[in-house]
Chains A and B, each alone.
Chain A
Amino acid sequence: MVSPMSIKLVQFAILCAALSGVVGLFVRRSSLVGQRIATLMMVFGQVCGIAGAVSFFHSGEVQSIRLSWPAAGDSLVGLDALSAFFLIPVFLIGGLGSIYDLGYFPQSLHPRNGRKLRLFYGGLVAGMALLVVSRHALAFLFGWEAMALSAFFLVSTEDHRRECRRSALIYLVATHVGTLSLFALFSLWKWSTGSFILDPAAGAGMSFGVVTALFLLALIGFGLKAGIMPLHFWLPGAHANAPSHVSAILSGVMLKMGIYGLVRVLSLLPDPPGAFGGLLITLGAISGLLGVVFAIGQHDLKRLLAYHSVENIGIILMGLGLAMLGRSEDRPEWVALGMAGCLLHVWNHALFKSLLFYSAGSVVHGAHTRQIDRLGGLYRRMPLTGTMFLVGAVAICGLPPLNGFVSEFFVYVGLLESGISEDGGGLGAVIAVPVLAMTGALALACFVKVFGSVFLGNPRSESAANCHESPFTMRIPMIVLAICCFAIGLAPALLGPVLDGAIRTWNGGATANVPGVGDVAPLREIGVTSISLVGAVLLFYLFMAIRGRRSEKAGTWDCGYAIPTSRMQYTASSFAKTIALMFGWALGTRTHGPRVEGSFPEPSSMESHVDDAVLDRLIVPLSLGVTRWFRWFRRFQQGLTQHYVLYILITVVAMLCTLMPFDEFITRLFER
């Protein structure tokens, strides 16, 4: 019997995170002490947490302990391979974010909202870790709400800005709708199994209707959090307006909690029909493609990254859908490949998206703007940030030798296999593989646009020209994440056992024996290829350095024009225009101006923006319509107490009248 050491460590980590921001509340507003203590507690706690998760991977013993918490029944907290797998990004990004916080959001510069940020940052991490380890629906919901509400306060950190308040409000509505759906989900679970404990054995013998209802409720509730395409509307605004390390943890980790919930609930459902997998793959394809298309249309650096989260969630969902398809068709190799792609992409996206948000935060910190078209030439001024952004960009585009390639490769291989086989229906091959390929290509185009216009060329504004490299505390987390990205990309074989454990746990209820990831995908070959690729690039670089060839400096527009300005460069919007036109049906780019009339036209200006398909074109008009309809009720609210009392009187009399037997009165009257 192994002592439940790992789970103790995890509990300690959760406690540390939850309490990290509390000390700061009791010290002076402008003092840095609270912030330093918070970071110290976070880092120490999160190291313990990671140690706990890793030690679990070594022992492999499923552990659970009972919390003496009467409010939640006999609440169970446990650690299995799936939980441990999702705990790692929570703790890693949580700890790194609090280091980043020291440089990005120093208390001395933000006396008004810094303490709030720290308190809820700890709450967010603690909530996420709690929901991942809980084995009981109530503890799960507790963690879920702690996470959701902390995230609301984090998004509204800079609540003096109007758009920030708006995004936070939209997020709050979205998350509560999701929670409502989860309430229904767990109530239905309790009704059909008789207990709130999330145990796969309890699900046996459910009727098909119940299973379908559970699936759809989970899809809506967790899909809202994960940002699956029609439900993603809260995501771009919230991620763009939060402080950057918060955006990193929201996008890198909190979205994955939606995926975790979906993965966990799907693992509990017995005998899923093939349609579930098909639906997931279709939704994944839509999210992947439209996510990246909308990303291309954005002018705001962080908003663009947020839309890329939708894209990556789409890829994760495709993997999950493939695994579900494998389970219903009884094809263990699909389960292995799909789940490996899904899970590994969860890690990878957490790593490279956080890296990208950290470097975007570094850009914002240096240049004080998020508008891509006001940046430019930053590579010369902040070389480390530029390099880190490049690493993240290569990873997110799914190019070797970085980690994004490995997970997307799993999904590719799995989808192709399902397409080739006879009973896969060819769905994977026909829809998903081309979409996945197109997504990758568009992501590449998008990041060429971003990197080209933000880091290369000449600065387009004063603030971009005067920017500076970020402090040490902001660079450390970026470097750590970049190393992780390389490590997974170069040595994916090391992750084989971890992935195998998580996949087996997920498939626990099913009978088929799932093959190891190493047996169905050429992990070693990927590693060798990547290493040799890196080696070749290094050799080439060395060769060029030895030859000592340096590029000459010359004016960009040196072919006859006398006074070129930096505004003559290609803008990000013009670069993306070709693709934006191609997808005009989805993007609906709105362009205002310019007006050029006559021989000597007046000065004019031009702007274009891309509205969100769901939020701006569906939800906002709809809610405005509802508001207009409800305006009719205003006439009942005139502010006169007498009217309100009259309403009460009418209600009372009406209710009394329901008790009166009027028929009897009438008959009695006529008898007389």
Chain B
Amino acid sequence: MTDALNAILVIVLVMNLFVLGTSRILAVINTVATQGALLGVIPLLVHTHLTISVVLTSVAAIVLKGVVIPSIMIRALRDAEIKREVEPLIGLLPSIMLGALATAFALLFAGELPLAGEHQSALLVPTSIASVLVGFIILTSRFKALSQVIGYLVLENGIFIFGMLLIDAMPLLVEMGVLLDLFVGIFVICIIVNHINRAFSSLDTRLLASLKE
């Protein structure tokens, strides 16, 4: 079981790096969608005996992250008529290096944490921290509004993986609430993306700074 889990988590880590190193936004969205769907499988693997709540979490995560959110984003992408993140603050290759550094840091750090026995061997904690850090890197280095959304998604994926440690302790309601928040957040941002595009004829979030006092 742990081997399958770790295999998925390694794929997730690789996908993080791919997201950092690609400029075509459609490809990035598809990657994140796949990542989300893969993550949706994890609850089934972590727990040997399946309960209703685990299955529900899994299904909701797969549907939402794998299908609904990507389709909203692709639609927004089509409306905004852009294809690439043209001028990231940090170039693509340095981004990958940073992402690799963050992953290494996460692995080192997780090794030092006093974790419960069953979580020691799995890569859950390092993957979670690495995804959070990668999400942050995307958020700080990309300027297009849609890239920002992707950053949030990766960040949330990291938090979702961490939540897997607690799925027994955490009520279903919390998990569902988090997913709902994510959905609403992305939904709203995609609408805003459209508005930013119309107001500034660009999706560059730096232009929003002109709104400050």
Is residue A545 contacting chain B, with contact meaning CB distance below 8 A?
Answer: no
A641–B136 CB distance below 8 A:
no
Is residue A2 contacting chain B, with contact meaning CB distance below 8 A?
Answer: no
Name A656's closest neighbour in chain B (CB-CB): B109
Is residue A511 contacting chain B, with contact meaning CB distance below 8 A?
Answer: no
B108 smallest CB distance to A (angstroms): 7
Q: Which of A614-672 contact B (CB under 8 A)?
A: 637-643, 645-646, 648-649, 652-653, 656, 659-661, 665
A641–B208 CB distance below 8 A:
yes
Q: Looking at the complex, which one of B140, B142, B212 makes contact with A639 (CB distance below 8 Å)? A: B212
Which residues of the other chain, A, contact B151 by a CB distance below 8 angstroms?
645
Is residue B211 contacting chain A, with contact meaning CB distance below 8 A?
Answer: yes
Q: Looking at the complex, which one of B109, B132, B137, B143 makes contact with A660 (CB distance below 8 Å)? A: B109
A660–B136 CB distance below 8 A:
no
Is residue B205 contacting chain A, with contact meaning CB distance below 8 A?
Answer: yes
Q: Looking at the complex, which one of B108, B136, B143 makes contact with A648 (CB distance below 8 Å)? A: B136
Q: Mark A352-385, 1 if CB is under 8 A from B, else 0.
A: 0000000000000000000000000000000000
A649-B112 CB under 8 A given contacts A639-B209, A641-B148, A642-B141 = no
Which residues of the other chain, B, contact A649 by a CB distance below 8 angstroms?
133, 136-137, 139-140
Cα(A652)–Cα(B210), bound, Å: 28
- Majority DSSP secondary structure for residues of B touching A: helix
Cα(A643)–Cα(B133), bound, Å: 15
Instruction: Count contacts between A and B, CB distance < 8 Å.
Output: 51
Which residues of the other chain, B, contact A646 by a CB distance below 8 angstroms?
136, 140
A259 smallest CB distance to B (angstroms): 43
Q: Which of B12-43 contact A (CB under 8 A)?
A: none
B109–A659 CB distance below 8 A:
yes
Which residues of the other chain, A, contact B139 by a CB distance below 8 angstroms?
641-642, 645, 649
Which residues of the other chain, A, contact B148 by a CB distance below 8 angstroms?
641
B55 smallest CB distance to A (angstroms): 33
B68 smallest CB distance to A (angstroms): 25
A631 smallest CB distance to B (angstroms): 14
A659 smallest CB distance to B (angstroms): 7
A665–B209 CB distance below 8 A:
no
B106 smallest CB distance to A (angstroms): 9
B140–A645 CB distance below 8 A:
yes
Cα(A641)–Cα(B145), bound, Å: 11
- Majority DSSP secondary structure for residues of A touching B: helix
Cα(A224)–Cα(B206), bound, Å: 47
Is residue B4 contacting chain A, with contact meaning CB distance below 8 A?
Answer: no
Which residues of the other chain, B, contact A648 by a CB distance below 8 angstroms?
136
Which residues of the other chain, B, contact A659 by a CB distance below 8 angstroms?
109, 112-113
Which residues of the other chain, A, contact B205 by a CB distance below 8 angstroms?
640-642
Cα(A661)–Cα(B113), bound, Å: 10
A642–B212 CB distance below 8 A:
no
A652–B209 CB distance below 8 A:
no
B209–A640 CB distance below 8 A:
yes
Which residues of the other chain, B, contact A640 by a CB distance below 8 angstroms?
205-206, 208-209
Cα(A661)–Cα(B112), bound, Å: 8
Q: Looking at the complex, which one of A637, A642, A645, A660 makes contact with B108 (CB distance below 8 Å)? A: A660
Which residues of the other chain, B, contact A638 by a CB distance below 8 angstroms?
209, 212
Is residue B89 contacting chain A, with contact meaning CB distance below 8 A?
Answer: yes
Name B151's closest neighbour in chain A (CB-CB): A645
A661 smallest CB distance to B (angstroms): 6
B211–A639 CB distance below 8 A:
yes
A110 smallest CB distance to B (angstroms): 33
Q: Which of B125-150 contact A (CB under 8 A)?
A: 129, 132-133, 136-137, 139-143, 148
Q: Mark A547-565, 1 if CB is under 8 A from B, else 0.
A: 0000000000000000000
A660 smallest CB distance to B (angstroms): 6
B138 smallest CB distance to A (angstroms): 9
Cα(A638)–Cα(B209), bound, Å: 7
Cα(A637)–Cα(B113), bound, Å: 35
Which residues of the other chain, A, contact B142 by a CB distance below 8 angstroms?
642
Name B210's closest neighbour in chain A (CB-CB): A639
Q: Which of B77-110 contact A (CB under 8 A)?
A: 89, 105, 108-109
A642–B143 CB distance below 8 A:
yes
- Residue of A638, A646, A648, A661 contacting most chain B CB atoms (<10 Å): A646
Cα(A665)–Cα(B105), bound, Å: 12
A102 smallest CB distance to B (angstroms): 44
Cα(A639)–Cα(B208), bound, Å: 7
Name B106's closest neighbour in chain A (CB-CB): A656
Cα(A652)–Cα(B128), bound, Å: 14
Cα(A571)–Cα(B47), bound, Å: 92
A660–B141 CB distance below 8 A:
no
Which residues of the other chain, B, contact A661 by a CB distance below 8 angstroms?
112
Cα(A637)–Cα(B209), bound, Å: 10
Name A637's closest neighbour in chain B (CB-CB): B212
Cα(A638)–Cα(B141), bound, Å: 16
B109–A645 CB distance below 8 A:
no
Cα(A178)–Cα(B143), bound, Å: 47
Which residues of the other chain, A, contact B208 by a CB distance below 8 angstroms?
639-641
B132 smallest CB distance to A (angstroms): 8
Q: Mark B196-213, 1 if CB is under 8 A from A, else 0.
A: 000000000110111110
Which residues of the other chain, B, contact A641 by a CB distance below 8 angstroms?
139, 148, 205, 208
Cα(A656)–Cα(B111), bound, Å: 13
Which residues of the other chain, A, contact B140 by a CB distance below 8 angstroms?
642-643, 645-646, 649
Q: Which of B115-174 contact A (CB under 8 A)?
A: 129, 132-133, 136-137, 139-143, 148, 151
Which residues of the other chain, B, contact A637 by a CB distance below 8 angstroms?
212
20 interchain pairs, CB-CB under 8 A: A638-B212, A639-B209, A640-B208, A642-B89, A642-B140, A642-B141, A642-B142, A642-B143, A642-B205, A645-B139, A646-B136, A646-B140, A648-B136, A649-B133, A649-B136, A649-B137, A652-B136, A656-B129, A659-B109, A660-B108
Q: Which 7 A-B pairs have the closest CB atoms?
A: A639-B212, A639-B209, A649-B136, A646-B140, A645-B139, A642-B140, A645-B140
Not counting A640-B206, A656-B129, A659-B109, a sample of 9 additional A-B residue pairs whose C-beta atoms are within 8 angstroms of each other reads A639-B208, A639-B210, A640-B209, A641-B205, A642-B140, A642-B143, A649-B140, A653-B105, A659-B113
